[in-house]
Amino acid sequence: MTSIVSLLGLLGSLAPTLVAGATLPAAACVAGPPYYAFELHTTKNIAGTGLARGTAEVEVAGSSPFSIALAPDGSYVYDLHVALERMKVPREGQLVAWVTTPEIDRVVRVGALDANLRASGTVDWNRFIVVITLEPDDDPTARTWSGPVVFRGMSRSGMMHTMVGHGALQQENCAAYGYGS
Amino acid sequence: MEPMRSHVTAGALLAAMALGAAPVDGQHEGHAMHGMSTDAGWRMVPMDPNMPMLPGLEGAVPVVGPWMPGMGIDAAALPEARPSQTVSMTDGDTLDIAVSMVRRTLAGHEMIMFGYNGQYPGPLIQAPKDATVIVRVTNDIEMPTTIHWHGVRLDNRFDGVPGVTQAAIERGESFTYEVHVPDAGMYWYHPHVREDVQQDLGLFGNLLVTSPDPDYYGPAHREEVFVLDDMLIDDEGALPWGDSAPTHALMGRFGNVMMVNGETDYRLSARRGEVVRFYLTNVANTRTFNVTFGGAKVKVVASDVSRFEREQWVTSVVIAPAERYVVDVRFDEVGEVAIANTIQAINHFRGEFYPEVDTLSVVTVSSEPAEATVSEAFDTLREHADVVADVESFRRWFGSAADYELETTVRVRDLPQSIVLSMEADTLYVPPMEWNDAMPMMNWLSTAEQVTWILRDRATGAENGEIDWRFEVGDVVKVHVFNTPDSFHPMNHPIHVHGQRFLVLSMDGVENENLVWKDTAIVPVGSTMEMLIEMSNPGEWMVHCHIAEHLHAGMMFSFVVEGSNR
C-alpha cells in the first residue's frame, strides 16, 4: 500500500493555485453558503484539543466576473476560511492550515492560523481535505506538513459517494465499474 | 394593441398543447427496453452503456406522449436551412420574419427543424441604439409561437409573452413587433411558447444594438458572433420531445451534440496576434458552458445589457442559458486553437468528478502577423467611465435591506419510486452547478406533469403565479434569490427578468467589485444572489428560470410596473 509519506513526495508542480489570504477580522469568517461548509474534526493529537471544534467555509471567489468562479479545467474556485475554537493554543509551534486531495498526492499550504485561530486562502479542487497541523515554525515555503495533524475535515463533495456496488438499489455487478467484486 | 392586465398564472402559460404524436421506431443504446411500445414513438435516451439501470425503469417511458416536428412530411420537400445572414436596420425599417419548417442535417441525420426566414440561427439583426425597428412575424409552423426580445427594454406590448402581452400567433397568423432598442449590446430573440421544443429546434437569433460611440468597445481586428447550443441526438436523429409537457423536467434537456452557430464543426482562421471580439450567446435549453480559448489571452468586456465597469482578464467564460458575454481574445500562438467547453462533469454512479472537454470550434492561427497597433492596445484593460457613473447613481441602494426574498425549490409527484429513492439516497452532496446530465434516464422520465419548479416569496409564501409584486416606474428594488440546497433535487437556475435591467451586487455576501447590467444571471445551488433591479419600464413582466424545462414546470411569475416611461 502506498504510504501517505510517499504520496506526499509527489508534491510540487501539480499543486493548484492557492493563495494564503490576509488575516480576517474576527467576525468576518462566516460569509459563504452554509451548505458547503464542513466541520473540522480534532485528532486529539495534542493537548488542549479534546473539546475543540473547527469549521471550514467556502464562498464564491470574489474575483470572478461571473456568478461562479472556475479554474481553467472547470474545477470550482473557492475562497476558503478555516476557524478553530474551544481549544488551548499550544505554547510552542505554529498551527498551519493545508489543503490536500483525497489521495493526499498533492498538498498546498493555506497559511498559518492567526491569533484568532483563523486562516484563509483559495482552493481550486472540487474535492479536498483541510488539514491543520502543528508545525515547529511558520515556514511559508513549506511544501507539506511535518508536524502532527491536529484537525482534518473533508469538503462537502466528499459525501458524493458511489452508487455502484452497494445500496438497496444495486442490481449490477460492481466489478464492471472497477470496484472489486 | 392594449396590454392585457390580468396577472399571469402558471396555468395560462402552461396550457397544454396537443402537439400530436406519430410512431417512430424504437432505438436505444445498450439497454434493454422490455415492454416498450414502439408504437408510442419513444426510444430511450442515449446514455453510457456502462451506466447501471435502476430497478423498475427498464422499458419505462415518460408519462407524456412523444412529439416530433413535421411528422408525415417529407423532409426533402422542405427548404434546407441556410446560415444566418446579417440584416442591418435603421430607425423605422421593417423586417419580415417567417417562422417555418426547414430541413437540417446534423450529426449525419437529416431532420426537420424550425427556422426564422429559413436560417439557422435566425437573421442577425443590427440596429443602432435608440432605434425602433418593425418586425412582422408570420407563423407557419404547426404550433402557436411568439417572439420574445430577450433583454431589450422595449414597450411591454411587444415582449412576446402569450397570455400576458399578446395572444400567441397561431399558424397562418401574423403579429407585428415594434422593437425599440435603448441599450447598446448583444441581445437575442426566441419564442416564449414551448421553448423546450421551439428553441431547441432552431428558433433563435441575435439582435446587435450598436453604439454611436465608435470607441464603445476597445480596438479589435474583427468580430465574430458565437451562438452556443447543444442538441440531443441518437442513432436515429433527434430524440422526441414531450407533447403535452416537456420531458427532462428535473435537469433540463442536455444535448450531446455541441454547436456554434448551428454547426458542429465551426472553424475560423486568424493571424498571429489578431484580436477577435466574440459575442457569445447561450441558447441551449439547460447547459451552462465554461468556454475556454486554448490558452489564448482573454478579457471580458461586456455582458447582457452593458459593458463591465472595467475590462477584466479571465481564463474562461462561464455562460448560462440566455446570458451573453462580449470577450476580446488575442491569438498569439501559431497553430490550431480549440475553443472548448471545459468542465468537471459528475458520474453519480461512481461518485466522481471527471474532466470533460468538448471542442466547440477550432481557430487556425497563421504565422502572418496581424496589424500591431490593435494587438498592443489589447494589453490595456479599459475602464468604462460612463458605466461606472451609471452604476454609481444607484450606490445609495447598495446597503439597503432586501425588499423581497425569493427562494427556489422543487416539488415532485408520481415519479417512479426507484427515481425517488435514488434521488433521496444520493443527495448528501449536490454540486453548485450541473454541468452535464449525470442521470439521463431519470432526467428524461421526469416530466413537467410530475415536477413543479418553484420560485417562492419568502415573506408571503406565495409561489410562482401567486406572487403579486407591484412597483412604480423609478423604483429601485433589491431582491435576494436563495437557491435552496435542501430540496428533492437542487439545481442551478439562470434567473431572467423581462423588460428591466439589474445589477448583481453580491453572491453569498461577497461584494461584486466589477458591476455590469444584466437581464439573466445564474444562481448556483446553496447560493444567495443579491440583485438590484431598476424598474424603468412600465408593464407586466415575467421573472423566470431560463432553463426551458424549468420554466414550463412552473418556475415563473410576473410583476407589474405602473407609470410611464421617463
Complex-level ipTM: 0.87
How many residues are recorded in chain A?
181
Listed in order, strand segments (DSSP E) in B203-251 are 205-210, 222-231, 233-234, 237-238, 241-242
- Chain B residue closest to A67 (CA)? B522
Domain boundaries, chain B: 72-210, 395-413+450-562
Rounded CA-CA distance B453/B406 in Å is 13
Amino acid (1-letter code) at residue B159: D
Is residue B321 within 8 A of residue B283, CB to CB? The reply is: yes
CB under 8 Å to B349, separation ≥6 — which residues?
Answer: A162, A163, A164, A177, B51, B52
Strand order in the sheet with B476-483: B451-457, B404-412, B476-483, B528-534, B501-507, B510-511
Nearest to A162 among B314, B342, B350 (CB): B350
CB B247 within 8 A of CB B59: no
In terms of Cα–Cα distance, which of B430, B396, B433, B406 is closest to B530?
B406
Pairing mode, strands A149-154 and A129-135: antiparallel
C-alpha cell at B47: 446514455
Contacts of A24 in chain B (CB under 8 A): none
Instruction: Kindly list the distances between the CA atom of residue B501 and the CA atoms of B153, B304, B349, B484, B504, in Å, as whole numbers in the listed order.
Output: 8, 9, 41, 24, 10
Contact criterion met (CB below 8 Å) for B11 and B465:
yes
Q: What is the pLDDT of residues B474-502, one digit of tens each?
A: 999 999 999 999 899 999 999 999 999 99
B429: nearest CB among A67, A70, A157: A157
Cβ distance of A171 and B308 shorter than 8 Å: no
Task: Please say whether the beta carbons of B370 and B273 come within 8 A.
Answer: yes
Q: Are strands A129-135 and A78-85 parallel, antiparallel or unpaired?
A: unpaired
- CA neighbours closer than 13 Å in the CB half-sphere of residue A160: 22
Looking at residue A18, what DSSP letter applies?
Answer: -
A102 CA: distance to closest CA in chain B (Å): 12
Domains B72-210 and B395-413+450-562 share a fold: yes
Q: Where are the beta strands (DSSP E) in A63-167?
A: 78-85, 94-100, 107-112, 118-123, 129-135, 149-154
Cβ–Cβ under 8 Å, residues B497 and B521: no
Residue B526 is placed in which grid cell? Answer: 446553496
Angle at A14 between CA A12 and CA A17, to 5 degrees: 95
Do A31 and B509 make contact, defined as CB atoms within 8 angstroms? yes
Instruction: Print pLDDT tens along chain B (566 aa).
Output: 333 333 444 444 444 333 433 323 333 333 333 333 333 489 989 887 767 677 778 889 999 999 999 988 999 999 999 999 999 999 999 999 999 999 999 999 999 999 999 999 999 999 999 999 999 999 999 999 999 999 999 999 999 999 999 999 999 999 999 999 999 999 999 999 999 999 999 999 999 999 999 999 999 999 999 999 999 999 999 999 999 999 999 999 999 999 999 999 999 999 999 999 999 999 999 999 999 999 999 999 999 999 999 999 999 999 999 999 999 999 999 999 999 999 999 987 778 899 999 999 999 999 999 999 999 999 999 999 999 999 999 999 999 999 999 999 999 999 998 888 877 776 678 899 999 998 899 999 999 999 999 999 999 999 999 999 999 999 999 999 999 998 999 999 999 999 999 999 999 888 999 999 999 999 999 999 999 999 999 999 999 999 999 999 999 999 999 998 75
Residue A156 with chain B: CB contacts under 8 Å? 429
Contact yes or no for B464/B554 (Cβ under 8 A) = yes
Which candidate in A35, A126, A177 is best for mutational testing of the B interface (most B CBs within 10 A)?
A35
Q: In what order do the strands lie in the sheet with B86-88?
A: B86-88, B124-128, B205-210, B185-190, B148-150
B16-50 exposure pattern, b = at least 16 Cβ within 10 A, e = fewer: ebebebeebebbbeebebeebeeebbbbbbbbeee
d(CA B195, CA B150): 13
Share of chain B above pLDDT 90, in %: 84
* Alpha-carbon Rg for chain A in angstroms: 18
- Residue A164's pLDDT is what? 52
Nearest to B351 among A32, A72, A160 (CB): A160
Q: Using an 8 Å CB-CB cutoff, list chain B residues near A76.
A: 344, 432
Q: How far apart are CA B436 and CA A72, in angstroms?
A: 17
Considering only CA atoms, which of B174, B180, B175, B167 is closest in space to residue B3?
B167
d(CA B433, nearest CA chain A) in Å: 9
Across the interface, do B509 and A59 touch by the CB < 8 Å criterion? yes
CATH number given to B395-413+450-562:
2.60.40.420
Select from A59, A126, A163 the Cβ nearest to the Cβ of B353: A126
> Could you give the strand order of the β-sheet that contains B352-369, starting from the edge strand earlier in sequence?
B266-272, B352-369, B335-347, B289-292, B317-319
The rounded distance, in Å, linking the Cα atoms of B136 and B496 is 25
Q: How many Å lie between the alpha carbon of B553 and the closest alpha carbon of chain A? A: 24
CATH number of B72-210: 2.60.40.420
Range of the domain at A138: 4-177
Task: Mutate one of A57, A66, A123 to test the B interface: name it (highest B CB count within 10 A).
Answer: A66
How far away is chain A from the Cα of B48, in angstroms, using its nearest Cα?
12
* Structural domains in chain A (count): 1
CA distance A53 to A64: 31
Q: What are the pLDDT digits (tens) for A132-146?
A: 999 999 999 999 999
Distance from CA of B12 to the nearest CA of A (A): 32
